Structure formats: structure tokens, C-alpha cells
Amino acid sequence: MVVTVIALELLFVLLIVCLLCRAPYGVLAHQPLGGGRRSDWREAQERAEQMLRDVLAEDDYRQLCRRGYLEVPSRARPRRVYRIPRHQGQVKVYEGGVPIMALCVQPVDPVPDGDVVMMHKLMIEGNEEEYLRIANRFEPTLYGFIAIRPRGRV
Amino acid sequence: MSKLRVLSARGDTVLEWDERKLQTGDPEALAAVREAERIFEEQRGRGATAFKVESDKPAQKIDTFDRTAEQIIMVPRVAGG
């Protein structure tokens, strides 16, 4: 009986460890697999980081490094700010400082994290309506953001 | 120097040309800008979106190649995640 309980507890702990090790939002799916390509991927990440340093304004790059996100104000909606995460994930949308939704837009082919930050920034600044049209939306709840709205609403 | 950057799995690839040399008909600058224009069209054909990026200005989406742009960045095709 005791052995069974211990075995079940061990299984439970293993299950928790497996769940914690899972990458959020399919990050692993964005990395090319295979040992030989890991160094290529690392080089790509470094190149993308250098591109961010070159293209972003100094304050923006500093904000990205210190806070872990880059804020891009909406051009169409004056009180709205898009918060782009440093690493791939949902873009949080705030209006008057209040979170109103999260958006998920991903490149069809895998690109490094720095390129994804740039992709979000360019699309929000230069093509906001199209960006909102493409994005899958998630609304804030007490338990985090959940997908409840169909596409097409702004 | 003007730049065309294409975002891809390898990080960004960059092609540069000198706008001033272009105006004087420099063959190297002409070849570089022709190559940039070719890549621009090729990427657009694959569903990429192009943005003109200039210092202290918001990015601007462009549908045709602008050889006078300070920098053009091409974003690959995206989808809702």
C-alpha cells in the first residue's frame, strides 16, 4: 500500500516536471531541430539581436532589455499601447493603462526572437488594421488571457 | 547608405547601396539597387510585407520599391497564432 502511494506520488511529481519543462506557446516549434543546426540558429539569434540594436531607437532598445517588452503606441487609437514581449509570445494591448486583450500573430516560417519583435513593431506602426485583422485575440480574465472572440472585431 | 533587410530563419540578410553614387550612374551602385529591387519583388511574391523605416519616424508600409529609402525591412508572411 505504502509503495503504491509513493509510486503514485513520484508519477505525479514527474508529471508536474514534464508540464513545467514544456515551452510556452509553441516556442520549440519555432526552433529548427537537429544538433547540426543549433549553432546556425544561435548565429541567427545573434544577428537578429544586432539588427534590433541597429534599427530601434536607443531608448526603445534599453526598454526592451530592462523591462522585457517594447511598447508601441497605436497610431489609430490614441490611448492604446501594444506591449511586444522580448521573446516570442502574445502581444498585450493596453488602453489607458488597463489590459484589454492579448494578440497572437506569428510568422509562418520560423524566425529568431529579435526578428519577431521587429515584425510586430513594423506591422503595428505601418499596417495596424491588417495586424488586428490577422491576429487571434485573447481577453483578460482573472486566470490570464483566454481566447473567446472570433477574428474580425477591433 | 540605403539598406534592404529581409527577415528570415537565418536572421536578417542585408543588401546596401549608395544613393549618391546611384545618381552619378556608378555601375556597382546600379547593380546593387537592381539586385535589391529583384529581391524586393521576389519576397513580395512569397507574401512578405515591406516597410520603409526612417530615424525617428513610424514605419510605413510600401508596395513598391523605393530606392531613396533610408532602410526597407521585409517581414515574412504572418498568420494568427
> What's the whole-model pTM score?
0.79
- Domain hosting A120: range is 37-140
Total structural domains within chain B:
1
Question: Contact, A97 vs A69, CB < 8 A?
Answer: no
Q: For residue B77, give how far its alpha carbon lies from the nearest alpha carbon of chain A (Å).
A: 6
Return the higher-pLDDT residue of B58 and A145.
B58
Q: Of B61, B37, B73, nearest to A52 (Cα)?
A: B73
Q: Of B4, B6, B7, B40, nearest to B19 (Cα)?
A: B4
Please check whether residue B9 touches A, CB under 8 A. yes
Return the higher-pLDDT residue of A41 and A145.
A41
3-state helix, strand, coil in chain B (%, to 5): 30, 35, 35
How far is it, in rounded angstroms, from Cα B66 to Cα B62? Answer: 8
Report the pLDDT value the prediction gives residue A18, as an integer from 0 to 100.
62
The answer to whether position B57 is within a domain reads: yes
Kindly give the pairing relationship between strand A80-85 and strand A69-73.
antiparallel
CA-based nearest residue in chain B for residue A127: B61
* CB proximity list for A67: less than 8 A, separation 6 or greater: none
The answer to whether position A65 is within a domain reads: yes
Residues of chain B with pLDDT > 90: what percent? 72
Lowest mean pLDDT among A26-35, A89-98, B50-59: A26-35
Total structural domains within chain A:
1
Please check whether residue B1 touches A, CB under 8 A. no
SS3 B24: coil
Return the higher-pLDDT residue of A139 and B45.
B45
pLDDT at A26 over 70: no
pLDDT digits (tens, 9 = 90+) for A39-97: 888 889 999 999 999 999 999 999 999 999 999 999 999 999 999 999 888 999 999 99
CA A24, distance to chain mean position in Å, is 9
The answer to whether position B80 is within a domain reads: no
Q: Which helix (H) or strand (E) holds B34?
A: helix B27-45
Please check whether residue B11 touches A, CB under 8 A. yes
Q: Which residue has the cell 519555432?
A: A30
Q: Quickly list DSSP for A96-132.
A: TTEEEEEEEEEESS---HHHHHHHHHHHHHH-HHHHH
Residues of chain A with pLDDT > 90: what percent? 56
ipTM score for this prediction: 0.91
Backbone angles phi, psi at B74, to 5 degrees: -105, 125
The answer to whether position B29 is within a domain reads: yes
CB contacts < 8 A (A, B): 100
pLDDT at B64 over 80: yes
The answer to whether position B54 is within a domain reads: yes
Report the pLDDT value the prediction gives residue A36, as an integer from 0 to 100.
52
The answer to whether position A5 is within a domain reads: no
pLDDT digits (tens, 9 = 90+) for A106-123: 999 989 999 999 999 999
Report the pLDDT value the prediction gives residue B12, as an integer from 0 to 100.
86
Q: For residue A2, give how far its alpha carbon lies from the nearest alpha carbon of chain B (Å).
A: 46
pLDDT band at A15 (very low <50, low <70, confident <90, very high): confident
Lowest mean pLDDT among A92-101, A109-118, A120-129, B18-27: B18-27
The answer to whether position B22 is within a domain reads: yes
CA distances from A142 to A6, A79, A89, A145, B53 (A): 35, 23, 19, 8, 39
The answer to whether position A13 is within a domain reads: no
**A105: chain B residues, CB-CB within 8 Å:** 78-81
- Domain hosting B71: range is 2-75
The answer to whether position B64 is within a domain reads: yes
Question: Contact, B78 vs A105, CB < 8 A?
Answer: yes
pLDDT at A131 over 50: yes
